[in-house]
Amino acid sequence: MRYPPEHKERTRRRILREAARLFRRRGYHGVGIDGIMSAVGLTRGGFYGHFRSKAALFAEVLRGEHDFNRRMRARRSPDRAALTREAHEIVAGYLDPANRERVGRGCFLAALSPDVARAGGTARAAYAERLDELVGEFSRGLEDPQPRDPRALASVALCVGGLVLSRAVGEPRFADAISRACRDAVREQLVDAGEGLAGARG
């Protein structure tokens, strides 16, 4: 039976969706092609009609939409101070202890960084592209932003690194302290210069 072109595209999207979920939960080496295709309800033989290899699939997953990026990109405030306030709210939600496990399982940057570090060039390039995009989003709202602005780079590192560390430690109060410290440090990186001057004058 011949299927219409849209059927193949739908199947490809299903494979990507299930692969993304399984990679985030189990890591790259924790799931194979058979497991991914079983989750989709198909056999291994159908995989190669969509992707050359598991590594190619992994790279494609990394190129997909990242929720952290999407939230930062969705900011629509008209001025720097408002953009910065929105960024603070997004970061607070990202590092909120109540959401730690949900965000940790959902964020590609936090969940898959160790796997990407051991992966090939294609996956690392895809990861770097999304990371660079997020750094650019953090730069929106900064005063006199530079390409790959150090304040934006530090903010992203604090968010992702803070989430990874807080999930890794076994003691809840220690984990919460890490999250709070990283959230506050990001606030310092993103502080609006106008607000700082106003506070100094007050």
pLDDT computed for residue 186 by the predictor: 97
CA 153, distance to chain mean position in Å, is: 14
Per residue in 157-172, is it b (16+ CB within 10 Å) or e — as a string?
bbbbebbbbbbeeeee
pLDDT computed for residue 155 by the predictor: 97
pLDDT computed for residue 201 by the predictor: 33
Q: What is the pTM (predicted TM-score) of this model? A: 0.85
pLDDT computed for residue 100 by the predictor: 84
- Reported residue count of the chain is 202
pLDDT computed for residue 197 by the predictor: 32
CA 141, distance to chain mean position in Å, is: 20
Radius of gyration of the chain measured on its C-alpha atoms? 20
pLDDT computed for residue 34 by the predictor: 96
Which parts of the chain have pLDDT scores under 50? Answer: 193-202
